[in-house]
Amino acid sequence: MNNPSTRMNKRALIAAVSRKTGIKADQVDQVITAALDTITGSVTAGTPVMISNFGTWAPRRVPARLVRNPQTGTLRPVDARQVVRFRVSPRLRASVQAADPATATVRKHPKGTLTAQ
Protein backbone atom coordinates (compact mmCIF):
# COMPACT_ATOMS: atom_id res chain seq x y z
CA MET A 1 0.00 0.00 0.00
CA ASN A 2 2.32 2.73 -1.19
CA ASN A 3 -0.51 4.93 -2.43
CA PRO A 4 -1.67 7.12 0.47
CA SER A 5 -5.06 7.67 -1.18
CA THR A 6 -6.01 4.01 -0.74
CA ARG A 7 -7.00 2.38 2.52
CA MET A 8 -6.66 -1.16 3.71
CA ASN A 9 -9.98 -2.40 5.06
CA LYS A 10 -10.59 -5.59 7.01
CA ARG A 11 -11.19 -7.67 3.88
CA ALA A 12 -7.91 -6.52 2.32
CA LEU A 13 -6.06 -7.17 5.59
CA ILE A 14 -7.44 -10.71 5.73
CA ALA A 15 -6.40 -11.35 2.13
CA ALA A 16 -2.89 -9.95 2.73
CA VAL A 17 -2.35 -12.02 5.88
CA SER A 18 -3.71 -15.10 4.11
CA ARG A 19 -1.30 -14.64 1.20
CA LYS A 20 1.65 -13.96 3.49
CA THR A 21 1.05 -16.92 5.83
CA GLY A 22 -0.58 -19.48 3.54
CA ILE A 23 -3.48 -19.84 5.99
CA LYS A 24 -7.00 -19.98 4.55
CA ALA A 25 -8.80 -16.64 4.47
CA ASP A 26 -11.74 -17.86 6.57
CA GLN A 27 -9.36 -18.93 9.34
CA VAL A 28 -7.50 -15.60 9.16
CA ASP A 29 -10.87 -13.84 9.34
CA GLN A 30 -11.73 -15.71 12.55
CA VAL A 31 -8.38 -14.82 14.14
CA ILE A 32 -8.50 -11.14 13.16
CA THR A 33 -12.12 -10.84 14.29
CA ALA A 34 -11.26 -12.46 17.63
CA ALA A 35 -8.25 -10.15 18.07
CA LEU A 36 -10.29 -7.04 17.32
CA ASP A 37 -13.11 -8.20 19.63
CA THR A 38 -10.58 -8.79 22.41
CA ILE A 39 -9.03 -5.34 21.94
CA THR A 40 -12.48 -3.75 21.91
CA GLY A 41 -13.57 -5.62 25.03
CA SER A 42 -10.43 -4.73 26.96
CA VAL A 43 -10.52 -1.03 26.08
CA THR A 44 -14.26 -0.89 26.79
CA ALA A 45 -13.56 -2.38 30.23
CA GLY A 46 -10.98 0.34 30.88
CA THR A 47 -7.85 -1.73 30.27
CA PRO A 48 -5.22 -0.40 27.85
CA VAL A 49 -4.02 -2.81 25.16
CA MET A 50 -0.37 -2.63 24.11
CA ILE A 51 1.04 -4.46 21.11
CA SER A 52 4.82 -4.20 21.18
CA ASN A 53 6.36 -2.37 18.22
CA PHE A 54 2.90 -1.34 17.03
CA GLY A 55 1.06 0.82 19.56
CA THR A 56 -1.30 1.15 22.49
CA TRP A 57 -5.06 1.64 22.64
CA ALA A 58 -6.15 3.25 25.89
CA PRO A 59 -9.43 4.66 27.18
CA ARG A 60 -9.27 8.29 28.20
CA ARG A 61 -11.81 10.45 29.98
CA VAL A 62 -12.45 13.85 28.42
CA PRO A 63 -13.79 16.19 31.10
CA ALA A 64 -16.91 18.29 30.72
CA ARG A 65 -16.18 21.70 29.27
CA LEU A 66 -17.70 24.81 27.75
CA VAL A 67 -17.50 25.33 23.99
CA ARG A 68 -18.18 28.45 22.00
CA ASN A 69 -20.39 28.58 18.93
CA PRO A 70 -18.17 30.44 16.43
CA GLN A 71 -21.14 32.01 14.61
CA THR A 72 -23.04 33.34 17.61
CA GLY A 73 -20.33 33.45 20.26
CA THR A 74 -22.58 31.76 22.81
CA LEU A 75 -21.15 29.23 25.25
CA ARG A 76 -22.71 25.84 25.79
CA PRO A 77 -21.70 22.91 27.98
CA VAL A 78 -20.45 19.60 26.58
CA ASP A 79 -20.75 16.54 28.81
CA ALA A 80 -17.75 14.48 29.92
CA ARG A 81 -17.14 11.40 27.80
CA GLN A 82 -14.86 8.43 27.28
CA VAL A 83 -12.72 8.28 24.15
CA VAL A 84 -10.13 5.83 22.85
CA ARG A 85 -6.63 7.06 22.21
CA PHE A 86 -4.15 5.20 20.04
CA ARG A 87 -0.51 5.96 20.66
CA VAL A 88 1.83 4.68 17.98
CA SER A 89 5.02 2.92 19.11
CA PRO A 90 8.38 4.58 18.45
CA ARG A 91 9.43 1.70 16.20
CA LEU A 92 6.32 1.96 14.00
CA ARG A 93 6.69 5.75 13.85
CA ALA A 94 10.33 5.38 12.77
CA SER A 95 9.38 2.77 10.18
CA VAL A 96 6.71 5.02 8.64
CA GLN A 97 9.04 8.01 8.61
CA ALA A 98 11.83 5.98 7.02
CA ALA A 99 9.41 5.03 4.24
CA ASP A 100 8.67 8.71 3.52
CA PRO A 101 11.05 11.20 5.16
CA ALA A 102 8.97 14.12 3.88
CA THR A 103 6.26 13.23 6.41
CA ALA A 104 8.57 13.42 9.43
CA THR A 105 7.03 15.37 12.26
CA VAL A 106 8.93 18.51 13.12
CA ARG A 107 8.96 19.35 16.81
CA LYS A 108 10.43 22.35 18.50
CA HIS A 109 13.34 21.45 20.73
CA PRO A 110 13.23 23.00 24.22
CA LYS A 111 16.21 25.22 23.34
CA GLY A 112 14.42 26.60 20.28
CA THR A 113 15.95 24.49 17.50
CA LEU A 114 13.80 22.33 15.25
CA THR A 115 14.25 18.58 15.24
CA ALA A 116 12.66 15.95 12.99
CA GLN A 117 11.02 13.05 14.75
Mean pLDDT of the chain: 88
97 domain-assigned: no
115 domain-assigned: no
Q: What is the pLDDT of residues 66-101, one digit of tens each?
A: 999 999 999 999 999 999 999 999 999 999 888 876
Answer yes or no: is pLDDT of 5 > 80.
Answer: no
88 domain-assigned: no
107 domain-assigned: no
* 3-state helix/strand/coil string of the chain: CCCCCCCCCHHHHHHHHHHHHCCCHHHHHHHHHHHHHHHHHHHHCCCCEEECCCEEEEEEEECCEEEECCCCCCEEEECCEEEEEEEECHHHHHHHHHHCHHHCCEEECCCCCEEEC
75 domain-assigned: no
Number of domains in the chain: 1
Q: What is the pLDDT of residues 40-59, one digit of tens each?
A: 999 999 999 999 999 999 99
60 domain-assigned: no
Quick one: pLDDT at residue 97?
87
71 domain-assigned: no
Quick one: pLDDT at residue 22?
97
94 domain-assigned: no
